[in-house]
Amino acid sequence: MSYENLMRPIRIQNMTLRNRVMMAPMGTNLANPDGSISEEHKNYYQLRAKGGTGLIVVENACVAFPLGSNGTTQLRLDHDSFIPHMYELTEKVHAWGCKISIQVNHAGSAAIPSRIGQQPVSAGDIPCKTGGVIPRALSTEEVYALVGKYADACKRAQMAGFDAVEIHAGHSYLVSQFISPTTNNRTDEFGGSAENRARFLKCILQETRKRLGRNFPIAIRISADELVPGGNTLEDTLGWLPYVDEYVDLYDVSAGLNDSIEKMIDKADLPDGWKRYLSKAVKEKTGKPVVISGNIRAPHIAEDIIASGDADIVAMGRSLIADPEWCNKVRDGREDELRKCISCCIGCVGNRMGSNRPIRCTVNPAVTQGDTCKKRKVNKPCKVMVIGGGTAGLEAACTAAEIGCDVTLAEQSGSLGGRAACLCDLPEKRRMNDFVTYLKNRTARLKNIKVVLNAAVTKQMAAAENPDLIVCATGSKIATPNIPGLLDNLAEGNIMTVDGVIAKVTEGGFPHSMAGKQAVII
């Protein structure tokens, strides 16, 4: 398929992008403890630039430390000392023909008290999520002082060589906490009406535009529909946008707040590009270029979004963590090589937000270093036998073959993919099939892998192969908890394992056979 619209350049003020794909800003915990950018961090972004991305938006950088910090280790732009290393980053990205922006942000009441050493601040004294910490309402004077902090950070970004800046005005951070009626109970000029609630953002944009000049691109990220009771609807957002529109060059359209985080981060069962109706509405209202995100994995969906005019740029986050080469592969007609994100949120969101660790990826073992192992070829003949054709066995076989080994992959069933391929039969797990498909395609391209199906490996078979190395990837077994009576009920069929449920789904036994019945899941 031709992706001529997706690969067509676009100009925004004095910035021209080589294509319509933007890497969305995502926290990584890759920064140094002092808030400077690390060498690993630079390499992470450079890989995505090398992979053909049109525009990279670097994750949110703190404008006022420590009060506004978000994340265990977060980039900072609240002091001139952070400019030199940022300049090194922009040079590395520019060397690959990619443009680069950075998102500036203040966490507000989303900041964690134990990290910042004080009570978080916000528009009012309402937590930004259910059960959250009660913040202290900023004084009017403090609000105006923060306007300058945002503008200062944006000026530093310009000095560091960034091609644009993005001000985060969504997702339950400070600007969003002013805009949303769910968190703003102020009675001064920054509270009450929609115009007043948008005033903080307007002041930031006015001051930033004054500092950066007329032609430097300024973007804002918005939650066009907050998707929470009492929050801004799409209609409400279209109502307040005119108050800030004259200062904005690009709208990065998203959705959701902390209490609708499954829409903000896009849970697995949401279809590709499901938010496109939001960007279409913002574009029609403002006439400005718009970006849209939302589980965009399939190139034909991205192409259709651009071709239809629903958005001018598609933003990909986890897709580019999973495959830094997404753009190059699509451009070059190598769509069957795409390693698509499966929306598991384990290594990215789970590591960063759940465990305070640097991001990783379930399907990409080399998030920050790239496929460097492929350069380390074996220097003498090496035979490898891999027992088991699930995802672990396929990955092991492919990696061994890619560094020059002769590989035999033996699978006792009649198909590859293992338990992951079975799980794909569950409706909520269908995205996992993308990884299985990727591994099968990768295996098929490698001429030095011999696949043997319906082969339960014996000592004699292994001896006949005479490998230098055997990899045992025979998979997992269903865990059986020590619950009295469980084994008897399993035998009688009153209780099913996950494998049993999958078999029922595959046979068509669900959901009709469960209509009107209760189920307990342990």
Active site residues: 173
Radius of gyration of the chain (CA): 25
Helix, strand, or coil (residue 146): helix
CA separation (Å) from 35 to 56, 60, 81, 302, 437? 19, 11, 10, 34, 39
Which sign does the torsion angle of CA 30, 176, 69, 100 carry?
positive
Q: Give the number of other Cβ atoms within 10 Å of residue 484's Cβ.
A: 6
Q: Give the number of other Cβ atoms within 10 Å of residue 221's Cβ.
A: 27
Eight-class DSSP state of 129: S
CA-CA distance, 388 to 315, in Å (whole number)? Answer: 37
Do 387 and 453 touch, CB atoms closer than 8 A?
no
Helix, strand, or coil (residue 122): strand
Do 324 and 51 touch, CB atoms closer than 8 A?
yes
Nearest CA-CA partner of 220 in 169, 287, 277, 294: 169
Residue 418, H or E segment: helix 418-423
Which sign does the torsion angle of CA 492, 495, 500, 503 carry?
positive
What is the DSSP secondary-structure string of 77-102?
-SSGGGHHHHHHHHHHHHTTT-EEEE
Phi, psi at residue 271, to the nearest 5°? -70, 160
Nearest CA-CA partner of 175 in 155, 150, 193, 207: 150
Helix, strand, or coil (residue 210): helix
Q: Which tokens is 24 given?
A: 């969305």
Do 165 and 158 touch, CB atoms closer than 8 A?
yes
b/e sequence 401-426, b meaning 16+ C-beta within 10 Å? bbeebbbbbbbeeeebbbbbbbbbbe
Q: Which tokens is 186 given?
A: 């102020």
